[in-house]
Every structure is written in C-alpha cells, then in structure tokens.
Structure 1
C-alpha cells in the first residue's frame, strides 16, 4: 500500500512539473487575422503616461471611431513599459496596438506602422519647436542665436542619436558623437554665435527619448561656444510654467501643434516661439507590420 501511495505521489509530482515546464516553454498566441482583433487583445490599447498629449487624443479616438461602445479601452503605463510590451509582442508576433509618437527610436528598431486616421483625431502632423522665455533674445543674444540656428533631420540626425542612447551609450557621449560626425551641419548651427564667455543658460526638457537626445546635443553645442549650460528634466506642465515664469530660459522640445496644444493656448503671448527645429513628428496609434489587414483605426473593429 505504501509503495502504491509513493508511486501515486511521484506520478502527481512528475505530472505537475511537466505541466509547469510546458507552460513556461509555451509561446503566446500569435496574431490571427481570421479572428476578431478585439477578442485577441481583450479590447485594450497599450498606452503611455496618462498625462501625455497622445493619450488625450487616443481617448478621443475611442469615442470618435465608435470603439468605446465596443468596450475598447486605453491602458496607461509608461513609455518604457509600452516599448517593453511591444518588444515582447513582436518577438512572438502577437497582436498589439500602441499609442505612438515620432520622433522615437522604436520606429528604427521595430517593424511597426502607423494606423491611418481618416477623422484626423491626432491632427495632420506635428513638429518639435524651440521656445524661450520673453527677454532671452535681449539678455543672451549669443545663446539665442544658436537656438535660432538649431534644426535637424528626423531620420538622418535625431533617430541615430536616440538609438545610440537606447543602446546604452551615455547621452553626453552620443551628443558629442553626433557633433563629431556632422561637421558641416554643426558649422551652420554655430554660425554667427559669439563666444559665451561663461554666460549661463538653463534648458528644460521632458523625460522622453527624443527630448533627452535633442537637449543634450544643444547643450554640447552651447558648451562649444563656452556657455555655462544647465539642463533640467521636468514634467510637461512644469516645463512650460518654468519658461513663462522666467525660471528657465528655453526648451527645444515643445511638441506642437497638437501634443502641447493646451499649454501653448494657455500661455499664449507669454513665451517666445523661436523656431521649428524638427519636422515630420507625429502622434497616433501603431501596430506591427505583420498585422497586414489592420491599416486604419477603423480596422480595429474587425
């Protein structure tokens, strides 16, 4: 009897271990174009920070495209959590829909595509802008001149710097690498900029990949002309408040016209719009390219 009990317990243990190992080794279900997408995703779009502009627009999109009534929901997380989830989904070719912003390194790293937005909920295009406090041009014309000069290309310039930082390179090293590898562009950015002679300037930016890359490049350009630069990372609302209250001098990371629309409207006339420094920015929803039959936000109802 004892032997039978021992054998039974051993058999149960082996079966349990087999099930556990099988579960650990099993792959998640891949995207099935013949099954309703909402069912495969539990009707959930993977988002980023709840306070971001693209999340506000994504919330509106749920209503305007009739997705909310079909129980679609937006799951806030963080940019890091969203890209981690996207990475895993692409590894196993799972279905996923994410809120997306360009410029971002994920468009270089992953095979993803934008979903068409026929109702223009996310606007017709974005750009990165340089804004400054009122009076900076008069108080610090040299630094202001560099801010007027600074602009770069999304694919050729910004994305490589972001990819370097994402790959583990120190942000200062990545910025210096861009400057070293682009002498002609840098020469134009520094054209007409006088020696700063240690004059102070404070730049503010948000804690995102493009913002970190762009702000560090501008910091290194200013330091080349002997300006004493301070960088401070702030949340978006605090960043705008710092500019209009003269607690900071400038930012090269204002996302307009849609993402930061509320702040641009709230502080109209209280800041200096210096220039557009990067074209081709965009916000919206994106999916992996292997989801070939999902090409528009309207297709989420399939």
Structure 2
C-alpha cells in the first residue's frame, strides 16, 4: 500500500526540511456598414466582446507554476493585454471544475492549459494560436533524482532512469481516475494491462527488501498519475514507497536537500526553468520520461476565437 502525505503547505514542508532557503485590427478599419449592430454598437465594443463575456479573466492554476509566470509576465504584456486582462490564481482542480461548469452550459471561458491532460479527451477544446511563440515549443517531462541516489538505492535509480511512456499512456490513467477510479487502482490497472512496457522499466533491476523511498509530486493530474504508476512499480520490486504532495518550489527544494528521493514531474525547459536554474548542481537530471507536451491558453471549440491576438481590446 502506497503511503501518501497529501496537501502539504510550503510551511509544513519547511518543517520537514523540504525547502531550502478583441478582435483583429481589420475590424477597426472596416466600414460602418460592415459592423454588426447599430450606430450605438461601435466597432470597439464588438472587438472587446470576448473579454466582456468572460469578465476579462483567464482562469489559471497555482501561482508557482511556470505556465502562470509565462502568462502573467510575458503573454499579457507582449500582446498588450496587461491593462485589461486578469489571470486568476487557482489550482488544477479548481480550473478544471470551472471549465467543466462552463462547458456543460456552453458558456465562454479561457483557461491556462497543458497537455497531456484528461480535459482534452473529456471536452472539445482548442489552443489559441500564439503568433509570438511565447509559450514555446513542446516540453518534456523529466525525472529528477537527489544526488547520491545512485549509490544509496541503485535499483530504484536504474528503474527511474529506464522509466518512460507516451502521452496516451498517462492520459489513459487520468481518464480512469476522471471516470471515478481511485488513482491507486487506476495505476495498478495500467501496470497490469501494459506488462511489456513495464518490463522495459524494470529490466535488469533487482528486488529489494522494504527499502524506504519517497517520491515528491505536485497536484497536477498527469504528475499524480505518473507518480502513482511508478510508485506501484517500485513497490512491486520491494520498496516501501511514500508519495508526498507538495507545491512546485518545495518539490525541487526537497530533491535538492535530499528530503525526497525523486520526482517524475519536472516540466522542462520552460515550466520549471526557474527551479532548475536555482537548484542546478544539487540534483541529477535523468532526462525525459515523456515527450509531446504543450502549453498555452485554451477555450472550448464552440467559442468564436482562434488566437491570443483576438483578446486585444483596441
């Protein structure tokens, strides 16, 4: 049975020693006859209707996420949105709850988004085009281990180094959970249904006898799924595994200080770039365990908007 420590705040983690330290411009120039509405409905009002429909709010996630940093400090100012738009600090769970409510009622909503995530299989969504490419290219999710892990737990280290899967794998686990399965049960089901894949992770790995091992993770659905799957596999070779949920900063600090053994939820090179730079030299980067991620702003496909530029109010 995996042991879980859930919902630790930054303060409690410190106690454990985890923390060191509108419309396009063409619409403005269009003749009055081409603008919908009467003379009392100027082009400017038409151009800003998307913002008005969502109260000029973009529903975000936890404030420590790189996705939030990019959105607030790069996307808003570079697209000229900072004076009109507000990014609401939230969480993965709160963001998806707001999205679910809006989607079921066909109401407009704009959210910070990333893939892989179950919301893209549950709802018909689209990323807004990012002409300035501020969200960058697809990211990888890396496995990060504490220094000395290869000597202290060589078999776990080898398993971590060999761990890798595809977006459809993790989305399958997330979908099981979203459909009502317990995450531990979903992880066990995935492992039992993908024996050939799991065999590549544990190839040449020897069993142990109850060695303690701690995985740190943030409460992002794909990271929760990956952590539980790996935790299940570690237990199958004899480790006594504890899964500890923390925020992104304490997760990196915990690996750097050795309070946690590893994480399989490091988004690079963008989302966790600041933490990577801050703690570089105090951890081991085992490389990518998943390719093909994406970051950006997403909306339901029923919304008549295609680009971040469409959010500009002229």
Which of the five TM-score ranges fits, normalised by the shorter chain? 0.7 to 0.9
Aligned equivalent of 1:109: 122
Q: Which runs of 5+ in 2 are unaligned?
A: 1-45
Instruction: Name the structure where helix makes up a greater proportion of residues.
Output: 1
Deviation at 1:34, TM superposition (A): 8.6
Within the alignment, does 1:170 sit opposite 2:182 as a pair? yes
**Secondary structure, in 3 states, of the residue corresponding to 1:280?**
coil
CA distance in 2: counterparts of 1:262 and 1:283, whole angstroms: 16
> Number of aligned pairs?
267
Match for residue 67 of structure 1 among 59, 81, 86: 81
> Where do 1:277-296 residues align within 5 Å?
277-291=289-303, 293-296=304-307
**Counterpart residue number, 1:275:** 287
Q: Which runs of 5+ in 1 are unaligned?
A: 1-32
Q: Moved runs in structure 1, 4+ residues, more than 3 A?
A: none
Equivalents in 2 of 1:61, 1:147: separation in Å?
Answer: 35
Q: CA deviation at 1:90?
A: 1.4
SS of residue in 1 equivalent to 2:161 = helix
Partner of 2:312: 301
Distance 2:54 2:259 in 1: 45
Answer yes or no: is the 8 Å Cα contact 1:143–1:196 preserved in 2. no
Aligned partner of residue 196 in structure 1, secondary structure: coil
Q: What is aligned with 1:20? A: none
Give the corresponding residue for 2:27: none
Partners in 2 of 1:93 and 1:170 — Cα distance? 29
1:81 equivalent to 2:94? Answer yes
Pairing partner for 2:203 from 191, 195, 219: 191
Task: Report 1:4-153 matches (<5 A).
Answer: 36-59=49-72, 60-69=74-83, 71-153=84-166
TM-score by length of 1: 0.84
Distance 1:178 1:257 in 2: 28
Residues 199-210 of structure 1 mapped to structure 2, 5 A cutoff: 199-210=211-222
Per-residue CA distance 1:149-192 (angstroms, 9 max, x = gap): 1111102x100101111222111111110011111111111111
Q: Within 5 A, what are the aligned runs for 1:240-259?
A: 240-259=252-271
Match of 1:230 in 2: 242
Deviation at 1:82, TM superposition (A): 1.5
Whose radius of gyration is greater, 1 or 2?
Answer: 1
Q: Which has the higher contact order (CA 8 A, sep 6+)?
A: 2
Question: Alpha-carbon deviation of 1:197?
Answer: 2.2
- Does the CA contact (< 8 Å) of 1:37 and 1:301 recur in 2? no
What is the deviation of 1:35? 7.2
**Aligned CA distance change for structure 1 residues 38 and 235 (closer, same or farther; 3 Å):** same
The one-character-per-residue Cα deviations of 1:25-73 (angstroms, maximum 9, x if unpaired) are xxxxxxxx9972112222211112222221111112111101123x122
